[in-house]
Structure 1
Amino acid sequence: MAAPDDGILLRVEDLQVQIGTDDGIIRPVDGISFEMPAGKTLCIVGESGSGKSLTGRALMNLLPDRMKITRGRVLYRNAAGQQVDIGALPPRGPAIRAIRGAEISLVSQEPMAALSPVHTIGQQIEIVIRQHLGLNRKAARARALECLNDVGIPRPAERLDSYPFEFSGGMRQRVCIALALACGPRLIIADEPTTALDVTTQANILDLFKKLQAEHGLSILFITHDLGVVADVADQVAVMYLGKVVERGPVDDIFHDPRHPYTQALLKSVPTLSRQRVHRLAAIRGMVPSAFARPTGCPFHPRCDHAIPGVCDQREPPDIALGAGRTASCVLLEQAKPAPARSAASRSAVHG
C-alpha cells in the first residue's frame, strides 16, 4: 500500500510490548505514539527503566524471544514509497530482513558487544554489504573502505584488517556507525551511543552524526538519558516514563516551556553554569517503579510534587494536544489553553 507523502518516515501508533516472565506479564512499552519526520532527529529521553531501548528494538521488530508486540502499529514508509507495518511482519522472515540493516540500522550503546571479537572490521562490514547489496567481495571491500573513511577512521585501508580490540572506545563506536551506514539506510536508531565515552569523544561522535545526516539526508532516532545530548542534536523530543510517552514536541518548545511535571523535573535536575551562587542540584524524589509494581492512575504521581490526591492516583491521564505539534499526558493540563507556536529558543543553559 502506498504511503501518503506527508514527510513522515515512521509513524508509531499505540505500540505495546509485552514480556512473559515467571512472575507474570509486564508491559515495558505501554501504548506509545509518535512520528518520525524524514531527514530529522527525534530524541527519546527518560530515566533508566523508562522503556527507551525496548522501543528502539521494537521499531525494528528485533525483540528477544520472550517479548512481543501485542498492540499497535509501526508504520514505515519504505524506499519504494510503500507503507509497511513492521510490527506485523514475522520477526525472522525475509520481509523484515530486507529492511533491517538495509533501510533501518541500529547503533548500540556498547560497541564491543555489537562487534565480533574474532573477525576483522573489514570482514564484519563486508558481509553486511554482500548480504543486502549483493556486491562481490572486491566491491564490498571498496564500499567498506568508503564507510570507514566517511566516519573519520584514520588510515582506513589499513584498519580494515584490524580487530575491534585494536581500536579505542571512540573509534569502535565510529566503526559501529560505519557498519550501520554500510548499506545506505534511511533511518538510524542510535541507542545511547555516547554513554560510555568521555566528554571530548562524545562531542566528536555527536558532530559525526550531524555531519552524516547533512550529507546523506538520514533520519535519526536518538535514544538517550542525557538532556545535553538532546539539546545538541534533536529536532523533536519524546519524553518517556515507565513505558509511556508523557510529553512530545519540538525541542525548543520542550526546553523553553516544559508542560509535564516529569519533563520539568528532568530539566531542573540538569547542572548548569552561571555566575550566581551555587545551589544544591535539584533531584527527582524516589525512583522509577518496577514494571511489576506499576502505580494506578498516572505512572508519575508517586514522585510528582503537583499530584492531586484522589485524581492522579486513580485516573490515567489523557493525552492533551497543546498546539504547535505538542502533546502531554497530565490531568493538570486538561483545562490549559494550547501553547502558541514559539521561535527557536536558546538551549545554552543545558550546554553550560
Structure 2
Amino acid sequence: MLQTPMNIDTAARMPQVDPDPLIEVDNLATHFFGGAGMVRAVDGVSFTIPRGKTVCVVGESGSGKSITGRSILNQVPRGGRIVSGAIRYRPDPAEPAVDLVGLDPRGREMRAIRGAQIGLISQEPMAALSPVHTIGNQMMEVIRLHLKMGRKEAREHAIETLALVGIPRPADRMESYAFQFSGGMRQRVCIALALACRPKLLIADEPTTALDVTTQANILDLLSSLQAEFGLSVLFVTHDLGVVAEIADEVVVMYLGRVVEAGDVDTIFHAPSHPYTKALLQSVPRMHGEPTERLAIIEGMVPSRFERPQGCSFHPRCKEAVVGLCDRKDPRPVSVGNGHVVSCLLHQGEQS
C-alpha cells in the first residue's frame, strides 16, 4: 500500500522534451523461463531517460519495475533474459548510441559500462554489501577495476566519495564492516559505491523502502544534491507516490510488465488519464483529509503472470472497464498531449 502522505506541489516542474536522451528504452521485453512456464516480466516497455533528469517508475509490486532497471544494466536474474527490444545508450551526444541489449552481459564492453557509467543503488543494502569484506575493500575494488588507479590513489578516492555522501570520519570507517553501520548509513555506503566512478546514470531500486521517514528524507535530499552537483540522470524505482511528487521530473506508470501511462510529473499528478494511475493517486493518504474518511483502495490483486487477463490487463480491477471491449482488445499506447502517453482503450476510442 502507498503510505506516504503528501502535499503535491509539482506545477513548477514541467520538463522539456529532450531530443537527445541519455537512455532510450524501445519496446523492451524481458521474459523468465522455468518449469511452471514463461513469465513476461517486462512486456514491450518504451520510455526515455533525459540527461540530468529524474524518471520515476511506479506501480504495485509485481509490475516489472525492478526488472526494467536490471534490464538496462543487462543484468537480468537467473532464469530470465531480454528477448526483444532495444536499450539505446548515448553517453556522448556527438557519438552514435550503443544498444545495450546487443552486448554480451558478461562481456568486457558491458562490464565496462556497468558500475562505471551506470550505477545501481539496490533496495536492500545488507544484501548488496559483503558481510566479510570491509567497506574500504569493496569501494577500492570498484575504483581500481574501472578507474585503473593504484591502491593509494584508490583509497583516497574512496574516502573522498564516502565523505561526499555524508559518512562521518570516512577514513576510519573504511575499515568497518556493513553490520557496523546503521540502516541509513549502509544506504549511504551503497550510494557511495554507485557513485565511486562518477556514472552518467544512477538506477535507484527502491532505496528508501526499508528506512524510517526521517532517514528517507535525508537520503532523498542527498540524491538531489548529488544529481545537481554531477549532472546525473536518475531512474528511480518506487511504489511511493509521495517520493515521486518530491523528486520526479517525469513519471512512468507500470502495470503487469507494461507502461500504462507516462508523462511529466505535473501532468501525471494533476491530469492523469489511465484508470490505474487515478486509482493509485486516490489511494494515497492526504495530510488534510477528514479523520474519519476511509482510504480508497484498488479492488482485487495484481493477476498472476501465468494467467494474464485477456484484453487490457487492468480491466478486472478497473471501475471504468467496458464489457465487450476492455476484456477483449489489447490497448496500444496513444498520445494524449505533449509527451503524455496512455495505454487505454477509452482514450483510443476518443482519438479515433
TM-score, reference length from structure 2:
0.93
Residues in 2 aligned to 1:279 and 1:238: alpha-carbon distance in whole angstroms: 29
Deviation at 1:82, TM superposition (A): 3.2
Higher relative contact order (CA 8 A, sep 6+): 2
What's 1:39 paired with?
52
Sequence identity (%)? 60
Deviation at 1:246, TM superposition (A): 0.1
What's 2:274 paired with?
260
Deviation at 1:335, TM superposition (A): 4.0
Q: Does 1:145 align with 2:138?
A: no
Deviation at 1:212, TM superposition (A): 0.2
Task: Decide which of 272, 290, 304 is 2:304's aligned counterpart.
Answer: 290
What's 1:348 paired with?
none
Residues in 2 aligned to 1:275 and 1:106: alpha-carbon distance in whole angstroms: 37
Deviation at 1:21, TM superposition (A): 1.0
Deviation at 1:336, TM superposition (A): 3.8
Deviation at 1:64, TM superposition (A): 2.1
Task: Decide which of 156, 174, 198 is 2:212's aligned counterpart.
Answer: 198
Deviation at 1:337, TM superposition (A): 6.3
What's 2:27 paired with?
14
| Structure 1, unaligned runs of 5 or more | 339-352
1:62-109 Cα offsets, whole Å, 9 max, x none, are 012311111100000134733111011111000100100000010000
Residues in 1 aligned to 2:264 and 2:254: alpha-carbon distance in whole angstroms: 15
Residues in 2 aligned to 1:280 and 1:323: alpha-carbon distance in whole angstroms: 33
Residues in 2 aligned to 1:120 and 1:305: alpha-carbon distance in whole angstroms: 53
Q: Does 1:321 align with 2:335?
A: yes
Residues in 1 aligned to 2:319 and 2:148: alpha-carbon distance in whole angstroms: 57
Counterpart residue type for residue 45 of structure 2: I
What's 2:83 paired with?
70
1:193-214 Cα offsets, whole Å, 9 max, x none, are 0000000000000000000000
Counterpart residue type for residue 315 of structure 1: K
Q: How many residue pairs align between the two structures?
A: 334
What's 1:301 paired with?
315
Residues in 2 aligned to 1:88 and 1:310: alpha-carbon distance in whole angstroms: 40
Residues in 1 aligned to 2:159 and 2:142: alpha-carbon distance in whole angstroms: 13
Deviation at 1:118, TM superposition (A): 0.7
Deviation at 1:281, TM superposition (A): 0.3
What's 2:13 paired with?
none
Residues in 1 aligned to 2:342 and 2:223: alpha-carbon distance in whole angstroms: 28
Partner SS for 1:291 = coil
What's 1:334 paired with?
348
1:134-165 Cα offsets, whole Å, 9 max, x none, are 00000000000111011001111111111110
What's 2:4 paired with?
none
Residues in 1 aligned to 2:295 and 2:82: alpha-carbon distance in whole angstroms: 39
My pick for the range that moved more, 268-277 or 300-309, is 268-277
Q: Does 1:226 align with 2:226?
A: no
> RMSD in angstroms over aligned alpha carbons?
1.3
Partner SS for 1:8 = coil
Counterpart residue type for residue 209 of structure 2: T
Deviation at 1:117, TM superposition (A): 0.6
Partner SS for 1:334 = helix
Counterpart residue type for residue 210 of structure 1: S
